[in-house]
Amino acid sequence: MDKQNNTSKQRCSALSALDEYLSSPGHKSGPVLHDPDELGEENIRILTEEGILKEVLDGWFVVSFAKKDDDPTDWYRAYWKFIVAYLDFQYQEQWCLSADCSLDFYSGDTLVPEDLVIRSASAQGIVLELPFNTFLVQVQGDIPADTVREERYGVRLFPLPMALMKATDDYFDHHTTEARACLAKLTDTSDIIGIAKAEHLPDRALMFATELHNFGHPEMADTIKDAINKYMKEAEEVYFPQNDMPLRMKGTATAGNRIRLLWRNLRHRILLFKDCQDCNRHRRSVKELILRMQETLAEENHDIQFRYAPETDLPELRKDRRIQVEDSKTNGKGKTREITCDENYLKAEREVYLETGYFEAYRTVAKDILDSVTGGRKIQNVAAGHYPKWNYELFKSGAEDGVFTAADHFSDRKGWKDTCISGSRHVPVDPGEMEDAVDALSEAFQREDDPLVRAILGHFFLIYIHRFTAGNIQTAWLLMNSQLVAAGYPWIVLPYYEMEEYMKALKEAVELEHIDRLVALVARLMRASWKTDLRKLMANFDYMDNGFYD
C-alpha cells in the first residue's frame, strides 16, 4: 500500500498502538523499537512511511517526529537508549564501553560521540554505521567481571580505577579535563595500587599521585608513592619503561648479556635517526585502526612476505606425500599402492596454505592490537607473550593437513637450522642458550618505552636469535607491525622491489651490528603507507559485513 493511501484512521490506529507499546511496563528502551511483532507489521509499515519510525539497523527502529530528514535531534535523544538496547540484545549484557569511553561517562561528558568503542568477548571487530555520521565500533576483548551499570541510561562501564589505569596515553594527552574530573572522583587508592602492580603500570600510578597532590589530597598521593616505590625496589623481574635502562647482566648468560648490551647500543642509533627524519606518529581512533587493518588485509600483496621471503625461512614441502588407492589386483583385501603427488601441484598447494596462514596470523595480531588499545594490557606485554602463537598460526593449517612436515616442526628451534639469512656469516644463537636469549629479548622489549625502538629492535633480534624452525622473518614483521600500529604508526608491508634492499639491510645488521640501513628502510615504508586516503577508504567500506574474527 502506498503512503498516500494511508487513511487518517489507519495513522491514528498505528500511533495509538505505538504509544501503548512504548508506555507498556515491560518496555524500558524509551523511543527504541526492536520487536515488530508486538506492534504489528501493518503498523510498522504505516509509521515508517509516515516518517515516525526510522530504521537504524535491520529490525531496529527509533521514534522520530522531526519535520526534516536532516534533523538529528530525535536520533541524539534516542542514542544512548538505542546503544544499550542493541548491545544488551546482541551480547546478552556481556559488554562494556572501552576504558577511554568509560572515562568520558565518569567525567560527566555524555556528548553523543562520533565513534563509540565497546568491548565484548563475542564481538567481531566490526564498525557499524549509524545515523548522522555516528559509528559503533565493536572490539573483541575480555570485560571486567565487575562492570558498572550507569544509572541514567544503563550503559556498562569499566570500574573507575581500572578505566583510569587502562586508558590510552592519548586520552590523557587530549582529554585532560575529563581525565582530571575522573581522577578527582577517587576516594580510595587501593585499586589503583593493585592494578599498577598486577599490570606493571607504576608510571601511570605515580602520575596520578602527582595530580592528586595538586588536587589537595596529599595523603592519597603519598600512599600511592610509598606503595609503588616499595614495589619497584622489590620486583626485580618486572620490566619498567625507562629512557636509559640499567643493565641487568647475568654472569653465565652469554647470549642474553650480548642481547642486553646490543639493545642498549642500537636503540640510541634509532632515536638519533628518528629525530632527524619524518618518523612522526599520528593519533588514530579505534575506528581508523580497524579500517586501516582491514585495508591491509584486503590488499593484493597481503602475502608479500611469503612470496618474496627467503626460502630458507619457509617450511619445506613433504617429499614423501602419497595418495593411497586400492590395488584392483588384491581383490579388495586391503593392500594399497602409492602414487606420488605431482610436485608442481604440491608447491601451488603450499602457496595457498601460506596465504591462509598469513590471514589467520594477521587476524590474531589485529585482535591483540585492538584488545590493547581499548582497555587491555600494554601492547609490548601482549606481543611478548603472544608472538609464538602468531608464528604457529602461520603454518598451522598446512602442518595439520600434511602439506608441510609434522606439526611439531613449527616450534622453538632444536639446533638443526644453521643459518638465519641466506648467504650471511651470522650463526644464530646456540640452542642451549636459546631460553636465556629469549628471556633477555623479552625483558628489553617490555622495558622499552619508545614504540619505534621496540618495533625495529624486536624485529631485528627475533631474526638474530632465530627462535623458530620456520617463519622467523614473517613473525618478526608481525611483531614489528603490532608495535607500530598500536602507537599510531602505519602497518607496513614489504613490496617485492624492496626485498633486495631489505635483505642487504638485515645482513648488515646481523653481521656488522649496523642498524641504520634497516631503520631507513622502515621509515621509507612508513612514509609510503601514509599516502593512503582514509576518507576514500571509509566511503567504500562495507561497515556491516566486515570483521576480523569471523
Q: What is the DSSP letter of 404?
A: B
- What grid cell was written down for 224? 600511592
Residues paired with 317 in a beta bridge: 404
Average of per-residue pLDDT across 505-517: 89
Say which residue the cell 587491555 belongs to: 376
Q: Determine contact, residues 29/154, Cβ cutoff 8 Å.
A: no
Question: What does R_g of the chain's alpha carbons equal in angstroms?
Answer: 28
Q: Which residue has the higher pLDDT, 201 or 18?
A: 201
pLDDT in tens, 367-395: 999 999 998 788 999 999 999 999 999 88
Burial 337-354 (b: 16+ CB within 10 A, else e): eeeeeeeeeeeebbeebb
Q: Determine contact, residues 453/270, Cβ cutoff 8 Å.
A: yes
Q: Determine contact, residues 47/14, Cβ cutoff 8 Å.
A: yes
Looking at residue 543, its pLDDT comes to 47
Q: Picking from 69-73, 292-296, 515-519, which range would have the lowest pLDDT averaged per residue? A: 292-296
d(CA 437, CA 325): 48
Q: Which residue has the higher pLDDT, 156 or 315?
A: 156
Considering the chain, what is the average pLDDT of its residues? 81
Q: Which residue has the higher pLDDT, 46 or 193?
A: 193
Q: Picking from 144-148, 149-153, 291-295, which range would have the lowest pLDDT averaged per residue? A: 291-295
- What grid cell was written down for 203? 608510571
The runs of H, that is alpha helices, within 448-498 are 451-465, 472-486
Looking at residue 470, its pLDDT comes to 84
**Amino acid symbol at 343:** E
User: What percent of the chain clears pLDDT 70, i.e. is strictly above it?
Assistant: 77
Q: Give the sign of the dihedral formed by CA 175, CA 181, CA 183, CA 185.
A: negative
pLDDT in tens, 252-282: 567 888 898 899 889 988 988 876 655 666 7
d(CA 59, CA 35): 8
Residues paired with 115 in a beta bridge: 135
- What grid cell was written down for 369? 592490537
- What grid cell was written down for 264? 642498549
d(CA 250, CA 188): 40
Average of per-residue pLDDT across 388-409: 79
Looking at residue 369, its pLDDT comes to 93
**Amino acid symbol at 271:** L
Say which residue the cell 602497518 belongs to: 491
Q: Picking from 39-53, 233-247, 369-383, which range would have the lowest pLDDT averaged per residue? A: 233-247
Average of per-residue pLDDT across 90-119: 92
Task: Name the band, by pLDDT with cuts 50, 70 and 90, for residue 196.
Answer: very high
- What grid cell was written down for 536? 576514500
Query: What DSSP line would sit under 244-261, residue for residue?
Result: SPPP---TT-HHHHHHHH
Residues paired with 340 in a beta bridge: 322
d(CA 53, CA 57): 12
Residues of CATH 1.10.3290.10 domain(s) within the chain?
259-540
d(CA 381, CA 477): 17
Looking at residue 222, its pLDDT comes to 95
Looking at residue 325, its pLDDT comes to 43
Superfamily of domain 259-540 in the CATH hierarchy: Fido-like domain (1.10.3290.10)
Looking at residue 114, its pLDDT comes to 92
Contacts of 236 (CB under 8 A, 6+ apart): 248
d(CA 462, CA 96): 36
d(CA 138, CA 465): 37
Query: What DSSP line would sit under 341-397, residue for residue?
Result: PPHHHHHHHHHHHHHHHHHHHHHHHHHHHHHHHTTSS-HHHHHHHHHHHHHHHHHHH
Residues paired with 96 in a beta bridge: 119
